[in-house]
């Protein structure tokens, strides 16, 4: 797997957050929201897997353990090429908030002038007898904390592959042992003694205030970006309080999507590929052709690809091609005998790296808002679907616990949902994960349920399928 998924790049290095979470819960939603709010790219490892890294409750280890995180990271990085120009931030998730952007994180990491930086804390865990082996520090944050570290990918790969450990071994002890080894050798690992980048909260609440929407450490005078509540219930509750103040929320049960922060700019500079699949029966096949022709997205940025399997469409497909193919940047027609899963998979593979976005459209879902593409590209963080109601019925093209609120427009925004249907707008960087999603467990789904297969596997990989009801977009014919 390569860093194609939503990475941040400043032209020098690419940057990505990687975390581990085996279950979806409100704490993980909070982590995701802080990433979305600051446009931080992240990947979640282990979703849906059994946690075998030691006794835990609500995502918090009750006893030493946690090396399942190390082993998942090993597996993730083993096939990454060219790790030397990738900056990886590995962090806990259930008790972590971000309060700064990718650019700020990368900038601070570089200023620390070390290949790997670990967060630090005031307590020596899991073995207090190791205290005396630690070097003196300028602050009380003397001891390594493994809940957050950042470094160049090649250095991190060497670090996690030095010694093999089982899932039950303590991950903080593992990294502590490697830190002590490094002190005698290259000195490639440093601790964030001043909480310049990471703030650990255990035994540190009196050091922390919220000032101007930022967390500030009044002892070190720093405004750390990654906030980690590495402690008991008092510390976890304090993180909830910070969350409320920083994000102006009423609490973790009232998550508001990050769409409030979307910049309202027009995006019509991106190259797009529209794949129209003529699988659904419609009265007039010219209608799905024409709604794409009438969109006011620049045609010189648009490749139009029609994929069909029914010979009865051949005449009208060819007529449209003869009349209008020259208005598009490129125009393709494919006749196929493949099922729905395979045909979508082939389209995505064929489209990868040939545009900024691809759009998969079913023939019975049409745009009636001619500015739909510009609006949706502006909101797309990875994969997004416009909300479309079937006129005269209660059916709408997504599944979610909050379906009624979104469907009736009583809440408008961009929302994380469980399943989306009909139209999928996908960033080029996400295509490999969509292709992978159409392979995983495909035998459990019928070919007609390709969109359910896609949505569920993307969500399990940590890529949220989203619905937009910020505007009226179209209908179902």
Q: What is the pLDDT of residues 271-283, one digit of tens each?
A: 999 999 999 988 8
Do 229 and 278 reside in the same domain of the chain? Answer: no
Query: Could you tell me if residue 2 is inside a domain?
Result: no
pLDDT of residue 58: 53
The arithmetic mean of pLDDT across residues 283-301, rounded, is 93
Does residue 109 sit within a domain?
A: yes
CA dist 188 and 159 (Å) reads 10
Q: Determine what percent of the chain is predicted with pLDDT higher than 70.
A: 92
Q: E-assigned strands of 289-341?
A: 302-308, 330-335
Of 256, 283, 313, which residue is a domain's last? Answer: 256
- The mean of the pLDDT values for the chain is 88
Dist CA 66 CA 56 (whole Å): 9
User: Tens digit of pLDDT for each residue in 320-352?
Assistant: 999 999 999 999 999 999 999 999 999 999 999
Which range is least confidently modeled, 118-122, 343-347, 413-417? 413-417
* Claim to verify: residue 290 and residue 249 sit in the same structural domain: no
- Distances in Å between the Cα of 241 and the Cα atoms of 244, 255, 313, 320 are 5, 14, 59, 59
**Residues 353-370: what's their mean pLDDT?**
94
Whether a cis peptide bond, with omega within 30° of 0, leads into 126 is yes
Q: Are residues 246 and 322 in the same domain?
A: no
Length of the chain: 477
pLDDT at 404 over 50: yes
Tokens of 195: 């909480």
Query: Alpha carbon 264 to chain centroid distance?
Result: 21
Q: Residue 141: how many CB atoms within 10 A of its CB?
A: 26
On whether both 76 and 210 belong to a single domain, the answer is yes
**Among 46-55, 204-213, 301-310, which is the least confidently predicted range?**
46-55
Look up the CATH number of the domain holding residue 374.
3.90.550.10
What's the rounded mean pLDDT across residues 280-287?
89
Neighbours of 439 (CB within 10 A): 11
Question: Looking at the domain assignment, is residue 381 inside a domain?
Answer: yes
CB 361 within 8 A of CB 423: yes
| Residue 314's pLDDT band (cuts 50, 70, 90) | very high
Handedness of CA 383, 257, 22, 93 (dihedral sign): positive
Q: Are 92 and 73 in contact (CB under 8 A)?
A: no
Residue 57: the pLDDT is: 59
* pLDDT band with cut points at 50, 70 and 90 for residue 82: confident
Check if the beta carbon of residue 69 is closer than 8 Å to that of residue 20.
yes
Asked whether residue 261 is assigned to any structural domain, the reply reads no
227 and 279, same domain (yes or no): no
Q: Residue holding tokens 């071994």?
A: 169
Using the 3D structure, point to which of 229, 256, 283 is the last residue of a domain. 256
**What's residue 152's pLDDT?**
96
In this structure, are 323 and 416 located in the same domain? yes
Give the pLDDT of residue 261.
37
Give the pLDDT band (50/70/90) at residue 256: very low
Looking at the DSSP bridge assignments, the partners of residue 118 are 149, 191
- Residues 239, 93: Cα–Cα separation, whole Å: 12
Give the side-chain half-sphere CA count within 13 A for 343: 26
Tell me how far apart the alpha carbons of residues 190 and 116 are, in angstroms, rounded to a whole number. Answer: 7
pLDDT for 250 beyond 80: no
Are 277 and 252 within one domain? no
pLDDT of residue 248: 59
**Does residue 266 sit within a domain?**
no
Contacts of 13 (CB under 8 A, 6+ apart): 85, 86, 87, 106, 152
Give just the sign of the alpha carbon dihedral 452, 458, 464, 468: negative
Q: Hunting for tokens 């949902």 — which residue is that?
A: 417
CB atoms inside a 10 Å sphere around CB 279? 19
Q: What pLDDT band is residue 81 in, cutting at 50, 70 and 90? A: confident
Range of the domain at 364: 272-476
Query: Over the stretch 202-245, which tens digit does the pLDDT of each residue have?
Result: 999 889 988 888 899 999 999 999 999 998 878 888 898 888 77
Residue at 262 is within a domain? no
Confidence (pLDDT) at 265: 47
pLDDT band for position 267 (50/70/90)? low
SS3 166: coil
Average pLDDT over residues 51-62: 66
Q: What are phi and psi of 140, to 5 degrees?
A: -75, -10
Helical (H) or strand (E) element with 159: helix 153-160
Higher-pLDDT residue of 53, 321: 321
Claim to verify: residue 247 and residue 290 sit in the same structural domain? no
CA 403/CA 405 separation, integer angstroms:
6
> pLDDT tier at 3 (50, 70, 90 boundaries)?
very low
Q: Are residues 205 and 303 in the same domain?
A: no
The single residue listed with the structure tokens 């570089």 is 110
Both 289 and 352 in one domain: the answer is yes
Task: Report the 10 Å Cβ neighbour count for 284.
Answer: 10
- For 350, phi then psi, to 5°, come to -65, -30
Which tokens is 210 given? 């919220």
Is the residue at 76 inside a domain? yes
Please report which helix (H) or strand (E) contains residue 374, including its range.
helix 372-379
Domains in the chain, number: 2
Compute the distance between CA of residue 257 and CA of residue 241 in angstroms, rounded to an integer.
18
The alpha-carbon radius of gyration of the chain (Å, integer) is 24
Given a cut of 60, whether residue 252 has pLDDT beyond it is no
Q: pLDDT at residue 61 above 90?
A: no
The yes-or-no verdict on residue 108 having pLDDT over 80 is: yes
Q: Are residues 99 and 183 in the same domain?
A: yes
Residue whose pair of structure tokens reads 């931030």 in the numeric block: 89
Q: Where are the beta strands (DSSP E) in 170-326?
A: 189-191, 198-200, 208-211, 214-217, 226-228, 272-277, 302-308
* Strand blocks (E) in 153-257: 189-191, 198-200, 208-211, 214-217, 226-228
Instruction: State whether 303 and 251 are in the same domain.
Output: no
- DSSP label at 235? H
Q: Which of 256, 288, 323 is the endpoint of a domain?
A: 256
Confidence band for 307, pLDDT divided at 50, 70 and 90? very high
Can you tell me the mean pLDDT for 172-184?
A: 96
Contact present, 20 and 82 (Cβ < 8 Å): no
CA distance 474 to 231: 49
Q: Identify the weakest region by mean pLDDT among 34-43, 146-155, 340-349.
A: 34-43
Residue 265 lies in a domain: no
Calpha distance 134→183 (Å, rounded)? 9
């Amino acid at each position: 797997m390569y860093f194609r998924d939503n990475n941040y790049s400043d032209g020098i290095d690419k940057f990505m957050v990687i975390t581990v979470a085996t279950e979806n819960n409100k704490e993980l939603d909070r982590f995701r929201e802080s990433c979305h709010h600051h446009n931080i790219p992240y990947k979640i490892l282990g979703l849906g897997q059994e946690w075998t890294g030691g006794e835990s409750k609500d995502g918090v280890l009750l006893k030493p353990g946690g090396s399942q995180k190390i082993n998942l990271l090993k597996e993730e990085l083993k096939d990454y090429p060219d790790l030397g120009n990738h900056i990886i931030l590995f962090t806990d998730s259930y008790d972590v908030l971000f309060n700064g952007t990718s650019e700020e994180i990368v900038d601070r990491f570089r200023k620390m002038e070390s290949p790997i930086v670990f967060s630090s804390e005031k307590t020596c865990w899991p073995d207090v007898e190791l205290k005396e082996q630690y070097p003196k520090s300028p602050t009380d944050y003397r001891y390594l904390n493994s809940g957050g570290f950042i470094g160049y990918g090649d250095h991190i790969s060497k670090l996690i592959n030095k010694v093999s450990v089982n899932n039950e071994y303590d991950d903080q002890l593992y990294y502590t042992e490697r830190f002590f080894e490094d002190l005698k050798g290259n000195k490639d690992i440093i601790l964030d003694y001043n909480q310049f980048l990471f703030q650990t909260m255990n035994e540190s609440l009196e050091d922390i205030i919220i000032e101007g929407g930022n967390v500030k450490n009044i002892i070190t005078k720093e405004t750390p970006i990654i906030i980690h509540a590495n402690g008991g219930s008092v510390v976890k509750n304090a993180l909830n309080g910070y969350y409320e103040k920083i994000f102006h929320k009423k609490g973790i049960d009232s998550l508001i999507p990050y769409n409030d922060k979307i910049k309202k700019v027009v995006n019509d500079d991106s190259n797009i590929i529209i794949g129209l699949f003529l699988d659904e029966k419609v009265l007039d096949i010219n209608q799905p052709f024409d709604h794409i022709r009438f969109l006011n997205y620049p045609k010189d940025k648009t490749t139009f690809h029609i994929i069909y399997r029914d010979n009865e469409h051949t005449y009208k497909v060819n007529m449209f091609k003869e009349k209008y193919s020259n208005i598009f940047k490129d125009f393709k027609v494919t006749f196929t005998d493949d099922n729905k899963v395979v045909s979508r998979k082939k389209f995505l593979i064929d489209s990868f790296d040939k545009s900024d976005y691809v759009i998969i459209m079913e023939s019975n879902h049409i745009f009636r808002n001619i500015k739909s593409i510009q609006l949706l590209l502006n909101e797309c963080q990875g994969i997004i679907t416009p909300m479309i109601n079937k006129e005269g019925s209660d059916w709408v093209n997504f599944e979610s616990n909050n379906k009624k609120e979104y469907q009736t427009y009583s809440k408008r925004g961009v929302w994380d949902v469980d399943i989306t249907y009909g139209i999928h707008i996908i960033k080029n960087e996400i295509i490999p994960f969509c292709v992978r999603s159409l392979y995983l467990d495909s035998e459990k789904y019928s070919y007609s349920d390709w969109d359910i297969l896609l949505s569920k596997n993307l969500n399990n990989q940590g890529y949220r399928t989203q619905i937009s009801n910020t505007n009226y977009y179209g209908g179902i014919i």
